[in-house]
A and B are shown apart, each in its own frame.
Chain A
Amino acid sequence: MDFTFSEDQLLFQESVRDFLVNEVTPEKIRESWESETGRSPELWAQLAELGLTGITVPEALGGLGMSALDFVLLAQECGYVALPEPLVHTALVAVPLLTDIGGELAAQWLPKIASGEARVVVGLSQNLLVEDAHTADLILLQQGDDIHALTPGQFNLRHNESVDPSRKLYAVEATASNIVCSDVAVITACLNRGALGNAAQALGLAQRMVDLAVQYTSERNQFGKPIGSFQAVKHHMANVAVQLEYAKAPVHRAAYAVANDLNSASENVSHAKVVACEAANLAAKNCIQVHGAMGYTWEVDLHIFMKKAWALANSWGDAGFHKNRINDFILRADTPLGAGNTFLN
């Protein structure tokens, strides 16, 4: 039993955090809102250079061959900076799906993803809309029980604006048919990875909102002292800290289950998704409160993170979907519940 990350994993997290915090500043994100695609080819090239776009691509196909467990800490860091680029989607959703499908398709696209030349996105039936379809060179789109691989010219897009200006969402209408996968288990695993990605980002988003709020309430004075010294303000923040602290291990456990393809992966992911997104939602609620009117403005950076947290809470399966999966699990007659069963798979 070793529920810790390795030195290497922690060091990788640290170096990616340093890179992201320097490169993906709130100013840059605001700039991206004004650009045509909302995406930065330069940043994507940098991420590819660091090996991040191909982090989960098998080594034989030009990637780093890492797992969801290696990536989960990095996904938290992507959340921490509210990275607009679809790195989490690429590493946790698109690449593993292509790898599962295998064959020609994987051999053709995975090296290009690793090199940063191509962008591939996935839209499952569980997703209302497809993330980042506008810059995709390939869309893996679920229709009924099948996944179709579609290239530009084989689909029409309808843009839907999100409350989070960084999110680029599209209704995708297929104009061609190209079935590449009909395996239910593969599609479920893909959905789980998408939800895991949201959960991990939610942890980072929550931490960022806490950091912003602690900083703000330490500097803002009323009644002759920092408002952060008042218990009413402290307790708002402490409540977030408690929820956040207890959401981390479930996310890491889910990443382990996904990486090792455990039978418990669906329950573990749903648990992680629910508690991590709830922690981020509570962070949003309490952090805007302690910012006062400043928190309600476009100018203060809090909303960059708050809006992403709201959006992630209901994509890749909303709370109802994930709670129902856990509910079905705990009410099944043969499910071993209680002490000593947490690590049975």
Chain B
Amino acid sequence: MGNSIATAGYTFVVEESKEVSGEDLGLLQEKLLQLNWGVQHPASGPMRLKVWVDGDEVVKVDPDIGYVLRLLEKLVEYRTWINAIVNVERACFIDNFGTMTGYSIAAEKIAGVKVPKKADYIRTILCEGGRIVSHLIGLGSFVGVLGVHTPMQWALIAREKFLDAFEVYSGQRIATASIVPGGVRYEPTGKFIEKMVTAVDFLENEFIPRYGEVFIDNPTLKVRSVGVGKVSKERAIELGLAGPALRASGVSSDIRKDYPYAAYGELDFKVITKEEGDAYARYLVIWEELIESAKIIRQAIEGLPEGDYRTKFPVKVPAGEAYVNVEWARGCFGFHLISNGGTGPYRLKMRAPSFANLWAIPEMMKNVKLADVPVIFASLYMCHGDIDR
């Protein structure tokens, strides 16, 4: 057998310009190795981290992104005000409601349109549904990178129920295109509410107790994640972390609470924060937000008012601009929307939370062990569509 890695034909990059293979592999022990973590790594998604290691210790990390760039900000300029939602929602398909809500609120602010109360409540229900769907995948994939794939399957079962509800509502399971400037696109039928209640029931009665028993206070999980990728409160702000990662470091920043939009101002919920700031704390924040979101959906369904679900949105919107932040599943999503009086957006800038989290990685991954790279990466809870846009 001997040097099987050499016979298998692997090559390693020693410096950026120099490749080593075959008999020269012995040289590697004395040098910094550059490993490509991704694009084909099971946990990386469509991106690459260039990781320089000294033995088992990470010296430097540099993300290489752009694999799923679609230039959505440009595409939006060729659409009408209503049509643009199909580009906006594709920032990340997992939670598509949050982005559509943010864009719609920005467009309504410029046009001076007031949305009926019922539309606000349906937006809230859908946004929280999207958050649950996204958090379920976040939980599953976090344990997934540690090598256990059961929780992902459990999470997908719970997620299916919500996708069923979205399908009844809009006809689509993932890219629903259901929230437009001026309200929402469809009347929430009794069937939709029924499906949503079924999904929340399943989540609260089946998924949460079962998952919580096995995968939350789990000693093996804790060994791998407690104390890993620790970020203090001041450091988190300095690094510009967003969303659950910021809240896990003890910063109470939640757009739903701080600058209420849709119906969040009228509902009762709490902002989850943790003080520890490590990978395990970030995992727990996602978990507890999931429980909180289920409660919000129940409240919003109970308080669902009667009336119109949509008002007329003008074809031509007067010149103006608006900046709107929404609390998307993965953090604060900002929309800088500009109108020049035409039939569509003049410019849309999307501020993505995953982009902010990604560029905190080079600082966070200094001097960690190579095995902790996937753990920190998954705990930051990023979406690639969102990074590249």
Q: Do A and B bind each other?
A: no
